[in-house]
């Protein structure tokens, strides 16, 4: 799972609810746990991820300009410097460590957190899809995210839900595990926003849609075929 898919998945937790309104998959602890597919996820991590999402969506609004930003939070966008600072602050200070007991084991230690270690075994050499930047694996610290309403298309589009590679082992309490999850999304945001992939970001103009999406091909006008169909139906209706 590439960094763009991961960070758009986070932004897409604000979405159309299918009834003319807006849903928030991080709106409370139960919804957050369903989205993250982690029944033990804690409230402090949810709040941290909500703050990180606001920073990401604020920078997304800058990237899609002069197009208007996604409507739900258009009046609550952070200044660029504050959004950048919030993303950078969410990244954990880490170092790679080699341990040699019965067999060699590669781990990542998190500075300032007692007994906080991430087992890199099976994590794609410290994070395939994140340019080897440290803690996260291909599914953001090994945690998959669910689709819209936990059913249907993936959070950031098809092929996202259920794409996890299994949990990366994290030693430590819930706060440590939560910090690793937030770190994963923050690193994905940094990699995406600092790469040429960001030029493919668009805001969907489908009726009632509030998503940002990544271009799959140059002529793509909507986040999904369903949004394209709704737009065509809407145009036909208004021509009558």
Domain-located, residue 102: no
Domain-located, residue 78: yes
Share of the chain above pLDDT 90, in %: 50
CATH number for position 187: 1.10.3300.10
| DSSP type of residue 20 | S
Tokens in use for 92?
Answer: 């954990």
pLDDT, mean of residues 222-230: 75
Residue of higher predicted confidence among 38 and 236: 38
Domain-located, residue 32: yes
How far apart, in Å, are the Cα atoms of 34 and each of 37, 56, 155?
A: 5, 21, 12
Secondary structure of residue 158 in the 3-state scheme: coil
* Per-residue pLDDT at 160: 35
Instruction: Tell me: pLDDT of 232 over 90.
Output: no
Tokens in use for 171?
Answer: 């030693």
Contact 107, 117 (CB under 8 A): yes
Average pLDDT, the chain: 77
When divided into structural domains, the chain yields a total of 1
Contact 37, 143 (CB under 8 A): yes
Instruction: Tell me: pLDDT of 140 over 80.
Output: no
222 lies in which domain range?
3-89+138-162+177-239
Domain-located, residue 48: yes
Domain-located, residue 144: yes
Tokens in use for 185?
Answer: 């999304």
Domain-located, residue 100: no
Mind giving me the DSSP string for 55-81?
A: HHHHHHHHHHTTSPPPGGGTTSPPPHH
The structure tokens 């402090």 sit at 44
- 110 forms beta bridges with 94
Helices 80-89/43-64 angle, 10° precision: 140
* Per-residue pLDDT at 148: 43
CA distance 71 to 58: 12
CA 80 to chain CA centroid, Å, is 19
Domain-located, residue 101: no
Query: Which of 118-127, 161-170, 185-194 is most confident?
Result: 185-194
- 22 forms beta bridges with 16
CA distance 179 to 104: 26
Tokens in use for 165?
Answer: 């590679």
* Per-residue pLDDT at 17: 87
pTM: 0.76
Confidence of residue 193 (pLDDT cuts 50, 70, 90): very high
Domain-located, residue 121: no
Confidence of residue 127 (pLDDT cuts 50, 70, 90): very low
Instruction: Tell me: pLDDT of 154 over 50.
Output: no
Question: Longest Cα pair distance anywhere in the chain, in angstroms?
Answer: 75
């Amino acid at each position: 799972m590439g960094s763009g898919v991961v960070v758009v998945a986070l932004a897409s937790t604000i979405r159309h609810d299918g009834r003319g309104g807006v849903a928030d998959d991080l709106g409370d602890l139960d919804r957050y746990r369903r989205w993250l597919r982690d029944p033990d996820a804690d409230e402090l991590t949810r709040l941290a991820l909500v703050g990180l999402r606001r920073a990401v969506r604020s920078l997304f609004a800058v990237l899609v300009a002069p197009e208007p930003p996604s409507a739900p939070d258009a009046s609550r966008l952070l200044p660029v410097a504050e959004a950048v600072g919030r993303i950078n602050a969410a990244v954990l200070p880490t170092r790679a460590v080699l341990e040699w007991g019965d067999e060699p084991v590669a781990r990542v230690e998190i500075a300032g957190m007692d007994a906080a270690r991430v087992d890199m075994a099976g994590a794609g050499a410290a994070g395939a899809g994140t340019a080897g930047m440290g803690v996260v694996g291909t599914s953001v610290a090994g945690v998959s995210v669910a689709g819209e309403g936990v059913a249907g298309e993936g959070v950031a589009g098809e092929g996202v839900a259920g794409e996890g590679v299994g949990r990366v082992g994290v030693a430590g309490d819930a706060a440590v595990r939560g910090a690793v999850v937030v770190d994963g999304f923050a690193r994905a945001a940094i990699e995406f926003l600092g790469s040429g992939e960001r030029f493919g970001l668009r805001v969907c103009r489908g009726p009632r849609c509030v998503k940002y999406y990544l271009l799959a091909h140059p002529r793509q006008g909507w986040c999904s075929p369903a949004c394209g169909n709704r737009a065509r139906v809407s145009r036909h209706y208004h021509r009558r």
